[in-house]
Amino acid sequence: MANTVRILRSTTAGNTPSLVSGQIAINEADGRLFYRASGGTATPLPSVVSYATTASFPATGLAGLLYLASDTSKLYRWESTIYVEVG
């Protein structure tokens, strides 16, 4: 008998799934993966999204994502209200 493994999912942009220890999930709208370690909360796995320039970044970023400006090859992260260069 074969077993089927299904990853939990959401199709709502910006949604963080409710997970129990050891579960993984994907947000299909954002393309973000999440996991939950013992005693923790749902944590996004870092992802990198690429844009041509910083001017083409979304007006509001998402925590847990790294934003690559292809024209300068610099990485940024969203910090509440602004993008901050990483590194």
Do residues 45 and 31 lie in contact, with contact meaning Cβ atoms separated by under 8 Å? no
User: Which of these, 16, 48, 14, lies nearest to 30 by C-alpha position?
Assistant: 14
Across 64-75, average pLDDT: 92
| Boundaries of every domain in the chain | 8-44, 47-85
User: Which of these, 18, 63, 25, 24, lies nearest to 41 by C-alpha position?
Assistant: 18
pLDDT at site 79: 93
Residues 6 or more apart whose CB falls under 8 angstroms from that of 86 comprise: 66, 74, 75, 76, 77
Q: What is the pLDDT of residues 9-63, one digit of tens each?
A: 889 988 888 888 888 999 888 888 888 888 788 887 878 889 999 999 999 998 7
pTM, full prediction:
0.56
pLDDT at site 71: 96
